Amino acid sequence: MAREGESRSFRRKFCKLCLDKVERIDYKDDRRLARFITDRGKIVPRRISGTCARHQSQITEAVKRARILALLPFTSDQYR
Amino acid sequence: MKLYETTIIYDPSLEETRINEEIERVTQPITAAGGEVIDVQRWGKKKLAYIIRKRRDGTYVHVKHKSPPTLIAEMDRRFRLNESVLRHLSVMAPKDDPRPEAAVAEGGEAGTIATTVPAVVQE
């Protein structure tokens, strides 16, 4: 698991989902998806999260579906 | 016939019996059209991530079914006319869904990723 942060410049980022061997990201799994959105509700970009291309595209699709079902916010209203 | 997943958010004020009726109204046309209802999950009352039609909660129902694609359009039309449906979403279900993440010994692109990553799965 990815418990250590991936902050320092030389530290290589890795895809946490590959590490967990996640085959498919489910839009119903809002707890897992919540890790890939910011506190404003934006999807975290790959350059920040280090997610691989395959998983990132799965994340975006899943987050968008979860938003339709109000499992995840489109935006956080506490910042309005 | 294709495999679909339909999630419907009903008005939280609907009673159990009304929900059952509504589910019947979803499943009945599926079987009538020659489809098959595979699974009906009631997620119960959940908090919405944002307010929909002044409601903060919704009663979630998740239906997995095999249906002809034309029925999806018809279902969509009916949901939109139905006042007690706050939200609905129908998507194609992945084929090997019965075991979503346990599919380690799968070939293709999935297999390549599994082999390049060292097995350090814990928790």
Q: What is the ipTM of this complex?
A: 0.73
pTM above 0.80, yes or no: no
Best interface-test mutation with A: which of B117, B121, B122, B123 has the largest number of A CBs within 10 A? B117
Q: How confident is the model at residue A8 (pLDDT cuts 50, 70, 90)?
A: low
How far B29 CA lies from chain A's nearest CA (Å)? 23
Work out how many CB contacts closer than 8 A connect A with B.
Answer: 56
- On the 0-12 / 13-18 / 19+ scale of CB atoms within 10 A, B63 is buried
Q: How confident is the model at residue A9 (pLDDT cuts 50, 70, 90)?
A: low
Q: How confident is the model at residue A4 (pLDDT cuts 50, 70, 90)?
A: low
Domain boundaries, chain A: 16-79
Q: Give domain status of residue B13, yes or no.
A: yes
Residues 6+ apart with CB under 8 A from B67: B1, B2, B4, B30, B33, B35, B75
- State the total domains in chain B: 1
Note the pLDDT of residue B105.
40
Give me the sheet containing B55-67, strands edge to edge. Answer: B36-52, B55-67, B2-10, B85-92
Q: Give domain status of residue B102, yes or no.
A: no
Q: Give domain status of residue B14, yes or no.
A: yes
- Cα–Cα distance, A16 to A10 (Å, whole number): 18
Q: Give domain status of residue B107, yes or no.
A: no
Angle of the B69-81 helix axis to the B16-32 helix axis, nearest 10: 150
Torsional class of A38: left (φ above 0), alpha (ψ -120 to 50), beta (otherwise): beta
| pLDDT, tens digit, 9 for 90 and up, residues B35-55 | 999 999 999 999 999 999 999
Query: Looking at residues B24-29, what average pLDDT do you find?
Result: 94
The CATH number of whichever domain residue B14 belongs to comes to 3.30.70.60
Domain holding B86, by residue range, is: 2-94
Q: Give domain status of residue B61, yes or no.
A: yes
| pLDDT, tens digit, 9 for 90 and up, residues B61-103 | 999 999 999 999 999 999 999 999 999 999 999 876 554 444 4
Residue in B50, B103, B121 closest to A23 by CB: B103
- Cα–Cα distance, B111 to B105 (Å, whole number): 7
Contact A68 B89 (CB under 8 A): yes
CATH of domain A16-79: 4.10.640.10
